[in-house]
Structure 1
Amino acid sequence: MDVLGPAEIRAAFPRHERRRIVLPTEPRWEHIDFLGWIHRSGHLGFIVCRIGNGVTGLVVERNVTRGRGLRRLMCDICCTLHDKGGIATYTRWNRAQMRARSHMLCADLGCSLYVRGLRKTECVQMAETMSQEEKLGRLNDNVRRIIGNMTFVD
């Protein structure tokens, strides 16, 4: 992902949500395909992605999913399997239409790092025949699909 400054990051979000944004510490831009971080309180997540010529940002509510027993959950963006607490449900509300859309994503929003093998989970992963470039392509397609879905563009 191209380096974004604080002003560009804030401008990516809708005007009414900008007051809720707490900017992240300086990310390692060379290792990420989208910018995702968690509010210091843990109840909000922020996702910023370059789509076309623009940059789009979402503020989503975060609820860490605590599975029972040996249940494994998969991230909707990077397809990484996680044990308990490694997945969170991120929800975006459209209060005007009284609708909500949710996705299960990595609790730390570190999907790019999991795909690149820079971060590991305790869980055994499924074997895939895809190359690293194909996995990154899938990650980028999935994050754009999810952002489109959560912005309520039908």
Structure 2
Amino acid sequence: MRALTERDIRASFVNCTKGEAKRLAVPRDLAQRPWDDLDFLGWRDPASPERAYLVTESGDGLVGVALRLAAPHAGHVRRSMCSLCVTTHTGDGVSLMTARRAGRDGQQGNSVGAYICTDLACSLYLRGMKEAGPGGRIHESLTLEEQIERTTANLAGFLDKVVG
């Protein structure tokens, strides 16, 4: 992924107003991000833990989505799998994240959801740059490139539901 600026990020959001995009918390460490190893930029709002944001490159430019995390389950110990990168986590390592749909559907309160790595570090899990713990990455016969393609296709499918 190419390095993004704060201006790029704020202009990319498809499911919130310009005012909401102007007020959202953009990461302050953009210059230190491992851009070459990222398939998308994802971050949690430090001031509001139930909010998260995701920005990715699309054929038409950038697409940004504001997400909300569902309330975690107390005592949650089972394994859950991320629907984007297929990494499994115990506890609260995977969260249901919902996004208000873009346009009129979103204004009417419609949303879509997916189970995604809570820290939005899918790209780093795929590349072995971050560990999900024992059993977090299952052995696959797919190459890293094929796993990255699958992850970006899964993300594109989710974003199509948000935009469509």
Q: TM-score, normalised by structure 1?
A: 0.89
Question: 1:1-154 counterparts in 2 under 5 A?
Answer: 1-14=1-14, 15-24=18-27, 25-26=29-30, 27-40=33-46, 41-63=48-70, 65-66=72-73, 70-94=77-101, 95-124=106-135, 125-151=137-163, 153=164
Q: Measure, in 1, the Cα distance between the counterparts of 2:9 and 2:117.
A: 21
By how many angstroms is 1:67 displaced? 7.4
Aligned residues: 152
Could you say if the C-alpha distance between residues 145 and 131 of structure 1 is closer, same or farther in structure 2, counting changes exceeding 3 Å? same
Q: Measure, in 1, the Cα distance between the counterparts of 2:62 and 2:153.
A: 15
Does the residue aligned with 2:70 lie in a helix, a strand or coil?
Answer: strand
Q: Measure, in 1, the Cα distance between the counterparts of 2:161 and 2:19.
A: 19
Amino acid at match of 2:156: R
Q: Measure, in 2, the Cα distance between the counterparts of 1:83 and 1:110.
A: 15
Kindly indicate which of the two structures has a greater share of residues assigned to helix. Answer: 2
Kindly indicate which of the two structures has a greater share of residues assigned to strand. Answer: 1
Greater shift, 82-91 or 18-27, is seen at: 18-27
By how many angstroms is 1:31 displaced? 1.4
Q: TM-score, normalised by structure 2?
A: 0.84
Deviations 1:56-114 (A, max 9, x none): 10101113544756521110110101100101111123453332211110000000000
Could you say if the C-alpha distance between residues 88 and 126 of structure 1 is closer, same or farther in structure 2, counting changes exceeding 3 Å? same
